[in-house]
Amino acid sequence: MTSTATPVPAGLKGVEVADTAIGSVRGSEGYYHYREHNAVTVARSASLEQVWHLVLHGSLDAPEEFVAAIGERRAVDVPASALDLAATLPPHLGLISLLPIVTNGAAASIDQTDRERVDCAIATAAAVPTVLAALHRHRNGLAPIPADPTLGHAADWLRMTSGSMPSDAHVALVQPYMIGTVDHGFNASTFTTRVVTSTGADVVGAMCAGIAALSGPLHGGAPSLALAMIEEIGDPTNTDEWVQTRLDRGDKIMGFGHAVYRADDPRSDMLRSLAIDVGGDLVDRAVEIERRTLAVLREWKPGAPIVTNVEFYAGVVMDAAGLDAALFTPTFTVSRSIGWSAHVVEQAAHNKIFRPSARYVGPEPSA
């Protein structure tokens, strides 16, 4: 007989499936936090390493040895032969293929001690920017740049991609974005890493699963699409017609709307402020296009809580920091892998395998 259990929302929207002490999103308030700290506040005032220590260990006071360990683990060797092959794959698959090589794989998390899992999670997340930068440069006919363990994680990411030392101004743009996207509740990629971890799988495999989830344009690929939208619209006076045309044919307007926020997305507010501080034609156009787009969307769906999400200004800020559009989603991957590292450790420490049920809606079976 077909199940009569109460159906859950599509996509498990709003269903609480686990406990976490890492952070939470309060969508109705337009607020999210890491541990007990306002996430936007720490994004504006802390280093990426401090926030990494916060989500992983619960304190912003990152010891020198913790910061040094991140730098040391970032300085992995990417074998040229493996890079040649990986660079022929889409970026996320190239990263997935190389991470087990540069981190030397890992034992099943269920067989590791707490300390071993922490070390493996740090090593995996720390290697992500080095591998992604090497892949990016290789695809563009450039030699990879070895990591510099003495630099901050955000600064070294910019250096390894561009080949030159980033300015303080560029780091001050990108680091808050990266901190602000370290974690954001049980989003698709974070949930994926926890599901895989719950099977007792190795840490690297669980985080590679998160990378695969993040590759989807509905999750991690929109910053470049939002920037492309701004460029395609051009003059802000074209916004109303451009947006209405796409709404009429059922297209999604990238950079607007969010599954959780019913008040302003605080990440978008922070990035808008950073962009306005930089100024320039692109920023001026983005601000006006945002205003006009929201007006059209609110007229199209009166009363709906439509907000500008993090992706609209993410591309604007990263472009201002000199990052190529092809590096927007990889930058997101560098930061979100830090959050995954904390969730993998938390899940494994108090593990119960995820085993939900599905509601059968097919034809009744024969006797």
pLDDT string in tens for the chain (367-residue length) = 455 566 778 878 778 888 999 999 987 788 899 999 999 999 999 999 999 999 999 999 999 999 999 999 999 999 999 999 999 999 899 999 999 999 987 789 999 999 999 999 999 999 999 999 999 999 999 999 999 999 999 999 999 999 999 999 999 999 999 999 999 999 999 999 999 999 999 999 999 999 999 988 777 766 888 999 999 999 999 999 999 999 999 998 888 877 676 678 899 999 999 999 999 999 999 999 999 999 999 999 888 888 888 889 999 999 999 999 999 999 999 999 999 999 999 999 999 999 988 888 899 998 7
Tell me, what's the pLDDT at 223?
Answer: 80
CATH number of the structural domain spanning residue 258:
1.10.230.10
Tell me, what's the pLDDT at 216?
Answer: 83
* Pair (227, 250) in one structural domain: yes
| Residue 305 maps to a domain | yes
Count of structural domains within the chain:
2
Tell me, what's the pLDDT at 258?
Answer: 73
* Pair (236, 251) in one structural domain: yes
Tell me, what's the pLDDT at 358?
Answer: 87
* Pair (42, 94) in one structural domain: yes
**Helix pair 188-198, 203-214: axis angle to 10 deg:** 150
* Pair (178, 232) in one structural domain: no
* Pair (283, 140) in one structural domain: no
Tell me, what's the pLDDT at 5?
Answer: 62
Identify residue 151 by its one-letter amino acid code.
L
- For residue 108, the SS3 value is strand
| Residue 76 maps to a domain | yes
Tell me, what's the pLDDT at 91?
Answer: 87
* Pair (271, 337) in one structural domain: no
- Residue-number span of the structural domain to which 184 is assigned: 36-217+332-349
- Cα separations (Å) of 171 from 55, 154, 158? 21, 7, 8
CA distance 149 to 75: 6
Which stretches within 75-113 are classed as H helix? 80-86, 91-102
190 neighbors 342 (Cβ within 8 angstroms)? no
| Residue 187 maps to a domain | yes
| Residue 90 maps to a domain | yes
| Residue 10 maps to a domain | no
* Pair (233, 303) in one structural domain: yes
- Cα separations (Å) of 65 from 73, 74, 322? 12, 14, 31
Tell me, what's the pLDDT at 12?
Answer: 82
| Residue 23 maps to a domain | no
Q: What is the DSSP letter of 164?
A: S
Catalytic residues: 258, 311
CA distance 115 to 120: 9
* Pair (100, 197) in one structural domain: yes
* Pair (194, 310) in one structural domain: no
* Pair (184, 208) in one structural domain: yes
* Pair (190, 300) in one structural domain: no
| Residue 226 maps to a domain | yes
CATH number of the structural domain spanning residue 340:
1.10.580.10
23 neighbors 15 (Cβ within 8 angstroms)? no
Question: Strand order of the sheet with strand 37-38?
Answer: 23-26, 31-34, 37-38
- For residue 126, the SS3 value is helix
| Residue 26 maps to a domain | no
* Pair (204, 230) in one structural domain: no
Query: Can you name the residues that pair with 24 across neighbouring β-strands?
Result: 33
